[in-house]
Amino acid sequence: MSKGKNKKAAASSPTPAKPNGLLSPTHLLLGALFGLLVQLLLGYFGIGVGSYLFQQNSSRVPPLPLDPPPCPAAWPNCPRSVDLHWDDVLELQSSAATTPSRASLAACDAPSLLSPQKVPGMHLLCVLPPPEGEHRRAAATLAAFPDMLRTAKQPSAIIVPPQLRTVAQLISTVYHSLKLTHKGGKYQLPALFNDEGIRIQSVQGALKQRRLLLMEGGQWIWPPVDVGHVHSLPGLIPGQVTKVVTVSLKPLVVSVENFLSPGENEHIIRRAMPHMAKSGVALKDADKGKAAKEFRTSSQYFLPTVGDALLEAVDRRVMMLTRIPISHAEYIQVLKYEYKEHYSAHHDFFDPKAYANNPEMIASIENGAMNRLATVFFYLNNVTAGGQTNFPRAQACITAEYPNGGPQPWDYFDCSKGLSVFPQEGKVIIFYSMLPNGEMDDFSLHGGCDVLAEGEAKWSANFWLWNKPYHFISKARKRATDELEAQYL
Ligand SMILES: O=C(O)CCC(=O)C(=O)O
Ligand SMILES: [Fe+2]
């Protein structure tokens, strides 16, 4: 990229796809009425935002009593519940022997999923039998490895009493034991998954697993493990095993080769070609008045997938790869970079602090509760020189100087630091803009570097997935989302 264009702050984020008109006024009116009804009911039963947690996660919500038992003094903000006395749950935690046996822990094989550094907000829970002699009072023991940290320390044990009825109650118990807190308000509820990323929605489903992952941010994120680790996914592409390879821990970047076929790459390029126009950026307050081309010189097109069987198949495959419902996706943003075109280092998330003077943006990201979670970045062709995606703050290993990852770059056009991923036809990378705890990840800073082969163009695409459903959904995307939900346990 051009030299000497130093910037004090990372470039503005790429503009999101404009929601189209698929939500009719009738839908909006019905949605508003439903919201009002829920608010009235919650108000009637005295369930305010304070007792936020976890009512909403269960599939069979029991009828609410008029006087649910109060929370114990040691747990003032427990979710009040009809048929559960949290005092008993607490009592069991303190009275039962809580050291899991070596043999049961070995069967869980926790180290194969843990990491050498913390993964904030992602917690591994080994599902173990109840403590010796406690089969009547306990349904299981969970051995917890907070933040996926691989240490020699004995994991803390959480006893699961048989009276827990909902995943929400199970998550609450884990939250209390691990002293986790939820941000409340519109922030995503935490969620449990099995080790293949299938969402858990019943206690029975949870206790049948060998290992569970608790994601505070409520969406699946591939456990990074170590650089070079491979998660193997059979069945995404008929007859193939798809390999999700970790290429960076911080930021979390995984790479998948041959995810798109040559025919699919060609089709995406062919469909987008007639519509390509110069790229824009969502200017931060600090960048107001600047031209997008100061940061980004590519061309782009948001390619609607509706009615295109091939693109709908790609949608579905992206969903099965990320385990994030396709209802959370923007349309594919196809990009073309010609010789010496680039996008300087930026984040794909929208930081509410950077858009404080932009009420429309603040509303659309629910003041930070809703954001871009993951980018599945498609490389649609090969480029013989340049065109890499650079993550300047990625670090191969933790150093004494930068124990928390690479420093802020001084030059946002410099592609020589950190990790570079070069275009390779059919390959995709997934990088996460949010941490599993639901916070924005500053280390996800990245840019598209100059194409350095004269006469060549880099064709690529952003497939952005949000942490909450996006504003519009097509019938095919609804069907695909239903298909994912049918796998829930
Ligand atoms: O072109 C690349 O490699 C990255 C592009 C990018 O980060 C973006 O469009 O948001
Ligand atoms: Fe980006």
> 248, 297, 294: which is closest to 420 by C-alpha?
248
Query: What pLDDT, in 10s, does the model give residues 291-317?
Result: 888 888 999 999 999 999 999 999 999
Note whether ipTM > 0.85 here: yes
Contact 373, 385 (CB under 8 A): no
Query: What pLDDT, in 10s, does the model give residues 103-126?
Result: 889 999 999 999 999 999 999 999
Q: Which residue has the higher pLDDT, 339 or 4?
A: 339
Q: How confident is residue 64, by pLDDT bands cut at 50, 70 and 90?
A: low
**What is the rounded end-to-end Cα distance, in angstroms, of the chain?**
48
Count of helices and strands (H, E) across the chain: 9, 18
Structure tokens at 186: 């519109």
462 CB under 6 A from ligand 1? Answer: yes
386 CB under 6 A from ligand 1? Answer: no
Q: Cα separation of 450 and 415, whole Å?
A: 9
- Which residue matches tokens 């790229």? 279
The neighbourhood of ligand 2, an ion, using CB within 5 A, equals 348
Stretch 176-181: mean pLDDT, rounded?
Answer: 92
427 CB under 6 A from ligand 1? Answer: no
Q: Which residue has the higher pLDDT, 252 or 39?
A: 252
Q: How confident is residue 397, by pLDDT bands cut at 50, 70 and 90?
A: low
Query: What pLDDT, in 10s, does the model give residues 196-255?
Result: 999 999 999 999 999 999 999 999 999 999 999 999 999 999 999 999 999 999 999 999
Distances (CA, A) of 297 to 60, 290, 340: 51, 13, 9
Radius of gyration of the chain (CA): 24
Strand partners, 255: 245, 429
* Residue 227 DSSP class: T
Q: How confident is residue 94, by pLDDT bands cut at 50, 70 and 90?
A: confident
Whether the bond into 274 is cis, omega within 30 of 0: no
> 226, 247, 215, 228: which is closest to 120 by C-alpha?
215
- The 10 Å Cβ neighbour count of residue 82 is 14
Of the CA atoms within 13 Å of residue 362, those in its CB half-sphere come to 10
Distance from the CA of 462 to the center of ligand 1, in angstroms?
Answer: 7
Supply the residue whose CA is at minimum distance from atom 2 of ligand 1: 448
> Given the CA of residue 390, which atom of ligand 1 is nearest to it?
3
Stretch 460-464: mean pLDDT, rounded?
Answer: 98
Stretch 72-78: mean pLDDT, rounded?
Answer: 86
Query: What pLDDT, in 10s, does the model give residues 314-348?
Result: 999 999 999 999 999 999 999 999 999 999 999 99
Contact 400, 435 (CB under 8 A): no
Ligand of minimum distance to the alpha carbon of 388:
1
Stretch 432-455: mean pLDDT, rounded?
Answer: 97
Q: Which residue has the higher pLDDT, 448 or 6?
A: 448
Distance from the CA of 344 to the center of ligand 1, in angstroms?
Answer: 9
216 CB under 6 A from ligand 1? Answer: no
Please give the share of the chain, as a percent, with pLDDT higher than 70: 87
Supply the residue whose CA is at minimum distance from atom 7 of ligand 1: 447
The yes-or-no verdict on residue 71 having pLDDT over 90 is no
12 CB under 6 A from ligand 1? Answer: no
Distance from the CA of 437 to the center of ligand 1, in angstroms?
Answer: 24
Contact 157, 144 (CB under 8 A): yes
How far does CA 456 lie from the centroid of its chain? 34
The yes-or-no verdict on residue 418 having pLDDT over 50 is yes
Stretch 428-436: mean pLDDT, rounded?
Answer: 98
For residue 29, the model assigns a pLDDT of: 44
Strand partners, 279: none
* Residue 170 DSSP class: H
Task: Provide the 3-class DSSP secondary structure of residue 335.
Answer: strand
For residue 302, the model assigns a pLDDT of: 96
